[in-house]
Amino acid sequence: MSRVSDNPTIYFLDAENAAFSCQLDQESYLISFDPAAAGALPISPDRLRAIQAGFVRLFCRDGLWFIEALETENLYINGHRISAYLLPCQVTSGDVLQIGNSRCVLLMDGAITSGNQQLMMIVSGHRVVNLTTALSETALIRQLIIVSRHDTALENLRLMVTAEDIALEETIDVRRIEANSLFCVDPFLVPRISDALFLQQESISSTIHIELIDRATQTSVLTVELPLEVTAATNWPYARAYQSLLASYVTPHHPFIDEMVVKAKFHLSKTDEAPESLFQLLSGDNPARFEETFLCLYHYLLNEYKLTFSPPAQPNSSLQKIRMAENLIIEQAAKGKPGMGTGSCLDLALLLAGCLENLQLNPLIAIIEDDDHYWHALVGMWTSNEKHFQPLYRTKMSLMEGVESDRLILLDPNCLTEYYGKPEAFSVARERAEAFLRERPLIFALDVQAARDQGVVPMQFAFGGMALQALRLSRQIASSRKSAQLKSWHLLLALIRDSHKVRKTFIACGGNINTLNRLPEFREEAERISYKTVPDPAGEYREVLARAWQAVFADGRRLVDDIDLVRAVLLDRETSASDFLAKMNVPFDVFENAFHEQRDDSAPPVDASLSIVRSIRKQSTIPPE
């Protein structure tokens, strides 16, 4: 995995009120507030011996930035004087540091400025948006600061924030900006989770347009354009600001991972060498034997799957393409036949981490510097139920202590493949991972459960608005007709009634909408019974949902739409939906071909593999009313 630097920037406001910046590319600095020589100087022994008043020390520890005053008691952070006993004090993006009349603003993820010596706007924000950033409620604009050098207060202003590609349009009233002051806007603009983010498959360049308007004259006072990239859900932006979002790609309840864990439990329960308690162990009920759990899971994948290494794909220099389980596992393991899969070290690490979290264990992913241009991913787990509150580690000390005390087990996921010549045993994978950690620089390590506690949720799959409405309507139809079971013909009828595309195709194939309104009772003998609740889905109904999910997986999407549902209905001729079309005098072949022609030719064909259908069927639930 290639790496990219993402360093914070510090903006200085000198005595002449001219702003300039320094990018921080090391982990410790002396900050000078002297108007004649304001700046950030990397710390050296000579500079430490020559410290004068007006300097502070800014340093990074485990990915967090701290400040401490040197030979001065006049340090202010965000207007509050900081006493010596509170130092060192953690600082975050947007904090305003001040000594005397000199000030600076610390921004952790770069910034864009606009304006002049009288009025300036500084904006910092996340430059990438996709489904993971939306699900984790990552603010697009982390900090927006208006610097006024006017001698009088400014009043009656308004901020307009727009971005067409993500349907963003927000207004913020700025009632008053005091003379010679900073006006800060809290982090805001969390993108709404829309169907478009689930369906996004390619990266597009966009812009967030920020404009400060004088409400009295309706004229523009300041304008800033913040570049934005809207990208696919499976494109992980691996800059520093997004590193914790890697936990979104650990999907413990993914249908494929769920099936793998279930099969691992069943397989191990049938082996003579497995302890009798191993089945319970894998369900997370015996935390005293974490290592055995990890070992058994690893060897199940090693023995039951033929996994091959494949280099990672990168849409551009700032994104890493993640192969989710449905793309990594090409074929599920079947009786007497190994499963097939291909992925990079990161893909395999995320797969193992998902299995561990599925077993209610605490996974960790470590990103190690491999050489001058690439990273290498390791996967591990804590061997206790101790809660960790720090999601990101940027130094090796805690990890090395964990490894040496056996509180942390790390594996090299490439040992599951032929990367080193042949697949290797658990002990070898562990030795290779520990050697990487000792000998190579750590970029960062991610504690998945700690990231969950901070709001980073697993990647989700969903039904689009039209599909969701059709599923709900199918339940209403089945309930109103007192059907014993929810069947595929109920769903097809709901799609014809509710989806414009499906209804239009139905009419084009000879269907009569008026007939639907006079539809005779379409019942079986059991349907004469009165039911107070919505009927349970029949097997054919669940098969439809499974096939729809499979088609979505094949296309690399995260959203089932109405066309996915109707195509899934029409993949099987031996269902109640086929009988329904016959009663409507609509030829099945004609109706099916009409939707087949609507399919995007670039989309991969749908493979109705029974093993995949079964794996998804367990997760196919009907949305509530």
The pLDDT of residue 518: 57
User: 439 or 274: whose pLDDT is higher?
Assistant: 439
Whole-angstrom distance, CA of residue 492 vs CA of residue 135: 31
Element (H, E) at 154: strand 154-163
Q: What is the 3-state secondary structure (H, E, C) of 274-317?
A: CCCCHHHHHCCCCHHHHHHHHHHHHHHHHHHEEEEECCCCCCCC
304-321 pLDDT, tens digit per residue, is 899 999 988 776 667 888
What are the structure tokens assigned to 483, written together? 């059907």
Whether the pLDDT of residue 303 is over 50: the answer is: yes
243-293 pLDDT, tens digit per residue, is 899 999 998 878 778 778 888 877 666 654 544 444 454 444 455 578 888
The pLDDT of residue 330: 80
Residue 171 burial (C-beta neighbours within 10 Å; 0-12, 13-18, 19+): exposed
Whole-angstrom distance, CA of residue 465 vs CA of residue 373: 43
Q: Where are the alpha helices (DSSP H) in 5-91?
A: 45-49
Does residue 94 sit in helix, strand or coil? coil
User: 271 or 394: whose pLDDT is higher?
Assistant: 394
Residue 56 burial (C-beta neighbours within 10 Å; 0-12, 13-18, 19+): buried
Whole-angstrom distance, CA of residue 530 vs CA of residue 528: 6
The pLDDT of residue 271: 55
Other CB atoms within 10 A of residue 453 CB = 12
Among 160, 175, 181, which residue's Cα sits nearest to residue 118? Answer: 181
| Section 368-380 average pLDDT | 84
Q: Give 329's contacts (C-beta < 8 A, 6+ positions apart).
A: 256, 260, 305, 339, 340, 341, 351
Does residue 132 sit in helix, strand or coil? helix
The pLDDT of residue 212: 93
| Strands, sheet with 119-125, edge to edge from the N-terminal-most edge strand | 112-115, 119-125, 141-148, 181-185
Q: Where are the alpha helices (DSSP H) in 190-289?
A: 195-199, 255-269, 278-282
The pLDDT of residue 418: 93
Q: Are 475 and 560 in contact (CB under 8 A)?
A: no
| Section 159-178 average pLDDT | 85
584-622 pLDDT, tens digit per residue, is 888 988 888 888 655 443 333 333 233 333 333 333 333
Whether the pLDDT of residue 465 is over 70: the answer is: no
Whole-angstrom distance, CA of residue 588 vs CA of residue 575: 12
Q: What is the 3-state secondary structure (H, E, C) of 322-355?
A: CCCHHHHEEECCECCECEEEEECHHHHHHHHHHH
Q: Are 126 and 230 in contact (CB under 8 A)?
A: no
What are the structure tokens assigned to 340, written together? 């097939």
pLDDT band with cut points at 50, 70 and 90 for residue 193: low
If you ran DSSP here, which 8-state letter would residue 243 be given? G
User: 508 or 180: whose pLDDT is higher?
Assistant: 508
Nearest 5°: CA angle at 189, between 187 and 190? 100
Whole-angstrom distance, CA of residue 47 vs CA of residue 50: 5
Other CB atoms within 10 A of residue 464 CB = 21
15-70 pLDDT, tens digit per residue, is 444 445 566 656 666 666 554 444 444 444 443 333 344 567 777 776 677 887 66
Q: By percentage, how much of the chain surpasses pLDDT 70?
A: 72
Widest distance between CA atoms in the chain: 94
